[in-house]
Amino acid sequence: MPDDQQPAASGATSPADRPTPRSATDLPTLRRPAGPPRKPTDNRPTGVVAGWITRGGSGPCYGLMDENGTEYAVYGPNAGELRKGELVTLRLTARDRSVDCGPGIPMRIIEE
């Protein structure tokens, strides 16, 4: 075999085998916060509760478990069909116990 047709030396790497060079610029570093936020960062309007329907149907009584595990007995004569397991966000207000909607904090759905 002529000298100019010798196989490449073992251990040689092709450009595809080489690691990609790192960027010449440094990544920004985050500073430590001075303390906790002064105001909550996930504010919801007053009376708005997000959670899952635990007792559904066509109403007027429903069960609702909020994101913190609080159970509500919700009354909503015009709320329509709410299915068990459905994630909802409802505007609620306190109500008297004249209607028994089962276990939980008695609340009424505010119609908008």
For 97, the domain range is: 48-109
pLDDT tens-digit readout, 61-94: 999 999 889 999 999 999 999 999 999 999 999 9
CATH number of the domain enclosing 78:
2.40.50
H or E segment to which residue 53 belongs: strand 48-55
List C-alpha distances in Å: 107 to 12, 49, 53, 87, 88: 74, 11, 14, 17, 15
Is 84 within a domain?
yes
**Coil, helix or strand at residue 16:** helix
Is 59 within a domain?
yes
C-alpha span between 99 and 46 (Å, rounded) = 24
Is 75 within a domain?
yes
Could you tell me whether strands 105-109 and 71-75 are parallel, antiparallel, or unpaired per DSSP bridges? Answer: parallel
* pTM of the predicted model as reported, rounded to 2 decimal places: 0.60
Is 81 within a domain?
yes
pLDDT computed for residue 111 by the predictor: 79
pLDDT tens-digit readout, 88-103: 999 999 987 788 999 9
Domain total of the chain: 1
